[in-house]
Amino acid sequence: MKLSAKFMLKVAGTLTLICLVVSALLGAVNNVTAPKIAAINEENTKLALSNVAASPESDFQPIDLTDDMVAAASAQGAKLTEAYTVLNGGEAVGYAFKVVAGGSQGDIEMIVGVDSDNAVTGVSVVNNKETAGIGSKVMGNETLPSGVGVLDQFVGKSGAGSLAVKVNVDAISGATVSSKGVTKGVNGALAAAEVMG
């Protein structure tokens, strides 16, 4: 059976029209949801910043990212997206870094606090797509057999690139990839802090 050119043009035109309508609808939905998603992410970032600071009265002054900071984090497998000086009573006491590292189901976006001695003060997850009941255990800071939360185990650790799962970082059983993702993020933040001096 041979199809006529007229029939093929009609089908192509119909499919093109459907694609245009669907694209317009997706664009409209994105215009409605994008500001809400951005507001949620901003609120989660503020909460995460307060969770990694040594003091609840801390203020956070944004820092312009340098190529060296971004490269140092990247060398550890993390993408540095934001940096802040942590201030207590107007005095700089450390840094907070927003970093992204790959997990088992997608990116894990987190804030890592680092004190003036380049030791971790806290880790807080801003956004992730990890599997519920598995990787989400890491994101929720589930307690390890040692009695310490999986994110809390990083507090006090230092040395960019020195942290590794099964070496000096414990993973949640069944969520090793998620644990490795968080570890890359922490190593990336420590590397950025070392560049800053």
Model confidence pLDDT, tens digit, residues 2-59: 778 888 888 888 989 898 888 888 888 878 877 887 777 777 788 778 888 877 788 8
The pLDDT tens digits for 65-118 are: 999 999 999 999 999 999 999 998 889 899 999 999 998 888 999 999 999 999
Check residue 35 and give its pLDDT. 80
Q: Which two tokens stand for residue 32?
A: 């409605």
What is the distance, to the nearest Å, from the Cα of residue 106 to the centroid of all Cα atoms in its chain? 10
Q: Which two tokens stand for residue 179?
A: 């644990």
Give the whole-angstrom CA distance, residue 113 versus residue 100: 14
Average pLDDT value for the chain: 88
User: What's the pTM?
Assistant: 0.79
Mean pLDDT of 180-184: 94
Please name every residue paired with 149 in a beta bridge, in sequence order, or none if there are none. Answer: 143
Give the whole-angstrom CA distance, residue 3 versus residue 178: 53
- Listing DSSP states for 151-172 in one string gives TGGGTT-B-TT---BTTTB---
Check residue 138 and give its pLDDT. 86
Is 182 a residue whose pLDDT tops 90? yes
Q: Residue 91 in 3-state DSSP?
A: strand
Please name every residue paired with 84 in a beta bridge, in sequence order, or none if there are none. Answer: 62, 96
Q: How far is CA 35 from CA 79, 125, 139, in A?
A: 23, 21, 24
Check residue 61 and give its pLDDT. 93
Check residue 67 and give its pLDDT. 96
Nearest to 163 by CA among 172, 154, 155, 171: 154
For 132, list phi and psi in degrees, rounded to 5: -60, 135
Check residue 164 and give its pLDDT. 93
Check residue 1 and give its pLDDT. 64
The pLDDT tens digits for 132-173 are: 887 778 888 888 888 998 999 999 999 999 999 999 999 888
- 129: Cα within 13 Å, side-chain hemisphere: 8
pLDDT higher for 161 or 1?
161
Residue spans of the domains in the chain: they are 49-196
Check residue 72 and give its pLDDT. 96
Give the whole-angstrom CA distance, residue 161 versus residue 15: 52
